[in-house]
Amino acid sequence: MLNETDKELRRIRIALVFIAIIILISGGARTVTIDQDSNGGDFNPEYRANMVPLGDGYFGVLTSDTDNIEQTMRVYFFDKETKKFTFIRENDLEDIDGQSEE
């Protein structure tokens, strides 16, 4: 008694009900957690171990060249108002040690 259009609409409705049931069963509530440091940063722990506080927003990062075993310290400034880092200078640690001994 039903014509072809009515039969097709009925099949579509059954398929939609079936899809809705599957989504309700399998797509339940999922918990997404994001772990952050207490400092709120995602710094590499090895990189953080090489940081040296210099005071008043200044800090240094110790880096070493594996070929020459020369260590350098890159000095940065962190502006709390703009929340931006500024590179100040780079010094060889040998030069700093030589100045302190004299």
pLDDT tens, position by position, 39-58: 555 555 555 667 888 888 88
CA angle 14, 18, 24 (to 5 degrees): 145
User: Percentage of the chain surpassing pLDDT 70?
Assistant: 64
Q: What integer is the mean pLDDT of 51-78? A: 80
3-state secondary structure 7-62: HHHHHHHHHHHHHHHHHHHHCCCCCCCCCCCCCCCCCCHHHHHCEEEEECCEEEEE
pLDDT band at 94 (very low <50, low <70, confident <90, very high): confident
Q: Which of 3-17, 31-45, 70-84 has the lowest mean pLDDT?
A: 31-45
Would you say the pTM of this structure is higher than 0.85? no
- Domain residue spans of the chain: 45-101
pLDDT band at 12 (very low <50, low <70, confident <90, very high): very high
pLDDT digit string, tens, across residues 18-39: 998 888 887 666 666 666 555 5
User: Percentage of the chain surpassing pLDDT 90?
Assistant: 12
